[in-house]
Amino acid sequence: MDHYLDRLKNGTLKLHALEKELPVQEAVRVRRAFIERETGVPLPRIGDFTFDPSRAVQRNIENMIGAVQIPLGVAGPLHLRGDHAQGQFWLPLATTEGALVASVNRGCVAITRAGGAVVRLIREGMTRAPAFAARDVAHAVEVVRWVEGNLPRLQEAAAATTSHGRLTGAACYLAGPTVFVRLEFDTKDAMGMNMVTIASEKAAGVIEQETGARLIALSGNMCTDKKPAAINMILGRGKSVVAGIQIPEAVVQGVFKTTGPVLADVNYRKNLLGSARAGSLGFNAHAANIIAALYLACGQDAAHVVEGSSCITTVEQGEGGVYVSVTLPAVQVGTVGGGTGLDTQREALALLGVAGGGDPPGSHARKFAEIVAGGVLAGELSLLGALAAHHLARAHRDLGRGKA
């Protein structure tokens, strides 16, 4: 090992090149030893992991030195009555936030006692939006009209890059002489960002060649990826999912120790009025908590919690109880590609019955999206219940979360 450490130190060997000279496991070990020597910080636990580093180095990470472990809990069973997710599910939740799993678990209890949540996937489509510079506004309008009249040409170009994804639409937006083309794709069981980026590059080349507009950026931020954006709330991105359930008054009182009218009032004043007054793009209690925990456990791109946090939670009083729902317009999930092939993440997906590609293609990702919506509904119910009963701080104290 000293030979490689000396070469790394004198610059004749680069950190990223270790895998070209050593087996992956050894390359990771040498790189970690170099960082330990350079910083004087021992990293024995970071070097202790169970998944196969070969796949991670090939597809998921550069300059790998080990892995960071996140505690994994389970909540459930959660009874769902979806088009794709039907039955009872145990939710794998990876988090370091104490009380989160317990909270989601309580929501699962209420939903299951009430007969199960209805969940529906209402639309899907992953987007990428290249930005083009036209000569002037007249030329920009010509570009828009060409795109609108030549979708088959763009579909043909995109299809040459993938056998799995399919370009389904192209919408144009102007800002002076700048043209944004929001391309939308069906990506089957993949979350699909790599797929649509490569396909969009091919389609953008056709637009550039045929219109004379100059491609400025393959992503022009009208996608919109990993940033809060009204366009994703309105049009959706990835999977758009809704979930709802009628909770009888007896269940509200038995599980949450409050009443339906109080639950509805908390939601109205907190999630709706409070969010509106703050100018928030999300109208929910803590949807991001559940989305992040599921994404981390199941090998998803954790940054997409940004779009997921645009959830809208509603609580409506009715005869004998309350109807609670969540609307998630932008859930980006996949069951193949990305981090889903790592050993531990694949096991978490298998726990949900969605590991790998579905039959027919796309069915596993749709099922997973409905499960995410059901999990968010459970989390929203529980936190609203804790706030309504003034139990939030007590729960954290009882679980030792307030101690240093």
Mean pLDDT of 213-226: 97
Length of the chain measured in residues: 404
CA dihedral 46, 51, 54, 55 (to 10 degrees): -120
Which residue blocks in 40-173 are alpha helix, DSSP H?
Answer: 53-59, 100-113, 137-149, 151-159
Would you tell me the crossing angle of helices 363-388 and 343-352 to the nearest 10 degrees? Answer: 80
Q: In the prediction, which pLDDT does 319 show?
A: 86
Q: In the prediction, which pLDDT does 286 show?
A: 97
User: Quick check: 345 and 339 in contact, CB under 8 A?
Assistant: yes
Q: In the prediction, which pLDDT does 154 show?
A: 98
pLDDT digits (tens, 9 = 90+) for 265-280: 999 999 999 999 999 9
Q: Residues 49, 153: one domain? A: no
Catalytic pick among 52, 97, 186, 265: 97
pLDDT digits (tens, 9 = 90+) for 312-346: 999 999 889 999 999 999 999 999 999 999 999 99
Domain membership of residue 230 (yes or no) is no
CA dihedral 34, 40, 44, 45 (to 10 degrees): -110
Give me the CATH number covering residue 175: 3.30.70.420
Which of 14, 33, 59 is the last residue before a domain boundary?
59
Beta bridge partners, 120, equal 242
pTM for this entry: 0.94
pLDDT digits (tens, 9 = 90+) for 51-93: 999 999 999 999 999 999 999 999 999 999 999 999 999 999 9
Give me the CATH number covering residue 383: 3.90.770.10
User: Quick check: 332 and 325 in contact, CB under 8 A?
Assistant: no
Catalytic pick among 26, 142, 249, 301: 301
Catalytic residue flag (residue 36): no
Q: Residues 277, 361: one domain? A: yes
What the block records as the tokens of 278 is 């703050």
Q: Residues 379, 247: one domain? A: yes
Q: Residues 27, 93: one domain? A: no
Residue 25 confidence class, pLDDT cut points 50, 70, 90: very high
Separation between Cα atoms, residue 216 and residue 249, nearest integer Å: 57
Q: Residues 265, 137: one domain? A: no
Q: In the prediction, which pLDDT does 401 show?
A: 54
The tally of domains found in the chain comes to 3
pLDDT digits (tens, 9 = 90+) for 292-305: 999 999 999 999 99
Q: Strands, DSSP E only, in 18-116?
A: 72-82, 86-94
pLDDT at 397 over 80: no
pLDDT at 310 over 80: yes
Q: Residues 115, 151: one domain? A: no
pLDDT at 372 over 50: yes
**Strand pairing class (117-128; 72-82):** parallel
Domain membership of residue 222 (yes or no) is no
Average pLDDT, the chain: 95
Q: Residues 212, 357: one domain? A: no
| Spatial CB neighbours of 63, under 8 Å, sequence gap ≥ 6 | 15, 16, 31
Domain membership of residue 104 (yes or no) is yes
Which of 187, 217, 247 is the last residue before a domain boundary?
217
Q: Residues 38, 174: one domain? A: no
Which of 182, 217, 252 is the last residue before a domain boundary?
217
Domain membership of residue 388 (yes or no) is yes
Catalytic pick among 139, 164, 391, 396: 396
Domain membership of residue 223 (yes or no) is no
Catalytic residue flag (residue 62): no
Q: Residues 255, 109: one domain? A: yes
Catalytic residue flag (residue 396): yes
Domain membership of residue 52 (yes or no) is yes
Domain membership of residue 39 (yes or no) is yes
Give the domain extent around 48.
Answer: 2-59
**C-alpha angle 151-153-159 in degrees, rounded to nearest 5:** 100
Q: Residues 392, 280: one domain? A: yes
User: Quick check: 370 and 331 in contact, CB under 8 A?
Assistant: no
Q: Residues 251, 202: one domain? A: no
What the block records as the tokens of 401 is 């979360």
Domain membership of residue 374 (yes or no) is yes
Separation between Cα atoms, residue 237 and residue 229, nearest integer Å: 11
Least confident of 324-338, 359-373, 379-393: 379-393
Distance, first Cα to last Cα, the chain? 41
Q: Residues 323, 186: one domain? A: no
Burial (0-12, 13-18, 19+ Cβ within 10 Å), 215:
middle
Q: In the prediction, which pLDDT does 163 show?
A: 87
